[in-house]
A and B are shown apart, each in its own frame.
Chain A
Amino acid sequence: MAERSSTMKTPLNKALAQRRSKRRYSRRSCGEGTYLGYTSGRQTVLKIPTSRKKPKSRDITNQVDPDQVALLVKKEWHLSYVTPLYQFRYTMLKTYSKELSAFLVSEKQQGQTIETGQELCFKVNISVVLGLAETNQDAETIYIQILSKQVFAAKDEAQKVVWSGLLTCINGDVDYLRSLPPEFVSLPLLCTSGPESLSALVKSWLKKTFDCCFGPICITSTNLQWLAALWTGCHPTKNIQYLKLAWTIPTQPPMDVTYKVNPQDVWKLWDSARLDDGAEDSINIEEVNSFIRGLQTHFFRHFRLDLSAGSLMRVSTALGSAHHSGKIKITSPDYMTTVLQLLTECALLKMPI
């Protein structure tokens, strides 16, 4: 992709720009001469992966606080990408929480002249989810929770969680993360769950505070196919119960096809699609393609309808579900990192660098 190879986002001030260019020159002289024509983008060329590691069940509750894990699963997350955060400090989370809650209150009060009695007060918790990161380059995950309470509520009245968000980076592209200046923290994937108005407010606060920008992530059909294959590959260790795929065929009017497969059958198909020559613990894009083609030919034989003419919209198993429009639900914590890694890749590829 041409735009991937272009230089990184223009730095905000001159000092940074100079620093950046110095770094690059020193690297160039270190023996990257063969790519002279492309050096500018060399550091940040992101690759579309053609093979992945086989998902391994990782009991993340050993490393991550089980209470926090419980907060992450069984929610439907809306995904967006975030450009690197400028001067984000893990030591200042308390201050950030206060600032964000003050910001939310002031935004909500804007344009309100008459006291409505319905007045809400927001409490924000920003916390670190330690142990989710896979490599040293990954920044630790940040979890944001917004609770609402009535101003004059009784002490014992439970606070209600109205919004939660997750900023994460799992196995991000190492070259890219290394190429960032030290002032930046890269947490490319933002998952939000809650009303859209609050998401917009939180995003605008993050934008103002850390000088980043946001954009939606679409999970493309290739990535949905990856997810289908990865989840199916988990079947021997964890029962996936079913594999459900939804296609939309561009006919007039559009036709939706939902395709649900028995877990045993789909596992057999996946097992036969696996090539022998490859390493045991990695999965190739060819294997994924032949797996999906197998499902499609089976469908064609019965219904005379070629699914490859349409686009894959949704994949779901008992382990989770993903929708083309950038919504994901993870039900099982065991394979959470695999999914989050794939989404981190999507976010990095989608980001305007």
Chain B
Amino acid sequence: MSLLKPFSKLPELNTANILLVENEEQFQQILAETIVLLKKNVNVNVRLARSLPLPIENEKFRPRIDLVVFIINLTSELSYQSAEVSLKFLDPDYFLGKVCFLVTNARNASVPPERLISVRKLVASLHCPLLFAEDQMTDGVNTAAHRLLAILKVTSGHVPMATGLYLSSLTRCTVPSDIDQQNFD
């Protein structure tokens, strides 16, 4: 089992690396292309993975990953399960502000409401931010890309006076108490 570590490699000049993890590999692709095409003043490398752990062979050539994004498609149970399994292959240091979750299809009527609740509980327990994205429209993808880029700049240290831990302590997901109440009886 190889853990992905945030501080085992030196950062490169003017570069930020983001890793998108999604089991379906659909939204990931579109999002990656959008992020690459965005106007920005740092070099952004987008890396894609279906799940963690990442293959050991590429370990040497892999740059330092500044932000890990788990994309969860709510219409598929598998998507959530796979993200849950992948989490175990991240070094605990990542959870100090370098992980975020992106949920798609949350407004789909066919999605059981329990699934979103379980995602929120998982994310809240890890103290990570939870973002929602619309994957059907270009606008939605653009917005998601902008948001991720904004977080990436902070976590890769390109924003003075801000760190990933600082940002995530402000933006992390919390579970409202009425969701907890469901387990009262």
Interface, chain A (partner B; CB < 8 A) = 1-2, 4-5, 37-38, 41, 45, 47-48, 50, 218, 220-223, 250, 306, 308-311, 324, 349
Interface residues in B60-81 (C-beta closer than 8 Å to A): 75-79, 81
A222-B112 in contact (CB<8A): yes
A218-B109 in contact (CB<8A): yes
B78-A349 in contact (CB<8A): no
Interface residues in B99-144 (C-beta closer than 8 Å to A): 109-117
Interface, chain B (partner A; CB < 8 A) = 23-24, 75-79, 81, 109-117, 176-179, 181-183, 185
A5-B176 in contact (CB<8A): yes
B76-A311 in contact (CB<8A): yes
Across the interface, B110 reaches (CB within 8 A) one of A2, A41, A309, A324, namely A324
Q: Please judge, given known A-B contacts A1-B117, A309-B78, A310-B76, whether A220 and B111 are in contact too, CB under 8 Å.
A: yes
A41 cross-chain contacts in B, Cβ below 8 A: 178
Q: Please judge, given known A-B contacts A38-B178, A41-B178, A310-B76, whether A220 and B113 are in contact too, CB under 8 Å.
A: yes
Smallest CB separation, B57 vs chain A (Å)? 25
B112 cross-chain contacts in A, Cβ below 8 A: 220-223
B178-A5 in contact (CB<8A): yes
How many A-B contacts at CB < 8 Å in the complex?
A: 56
Across the interface, B114 reaches (CB within 8 A) one of A2, A48, A306, A324, namely A48
A311-B178 in contact (CB<8A): no
A50-B109 in contact (CB<8A): no
A50-B183 in contact (CB<8A): yes
Across the interface, A220 reaches (CB within 8 A) one of B78, B79, B110, B176, namely B110
A311 cross-chain contacts in B, Cβ below 8 A: 75-76, 110
Across the interface, A250 reaches (CB within 8 A) one of B75, B77, B114, B183, namely B75
A222-B176 in contact (CB<8A): no
A4 cross-chain contacts in B, Cβ below 8 A: 178
Q: Please judge, given known A-B contacts A306-B78, A311-B76, whether A2 and B181 are in contact too, CB under 8 Å.
A: no
In the complex, residue of chain B having the shortest beta-carbon distance to the beta carbon of A249: B76
In the complex, residue of chain A having the shortest beta-carbon distance to the beta carbon of B176: A2
Q: What CA separation (Å) do A310 and B110 show in the bound complex?
A: 12
Q: What CA separation (Å) do A222 and B177 show in the bound complex?
A: 23
Smallest CB separation, A73 vs chain B (Å)? 27
A222 cross-chain contacts in B, Cβ below 8 A: 112, 114-115
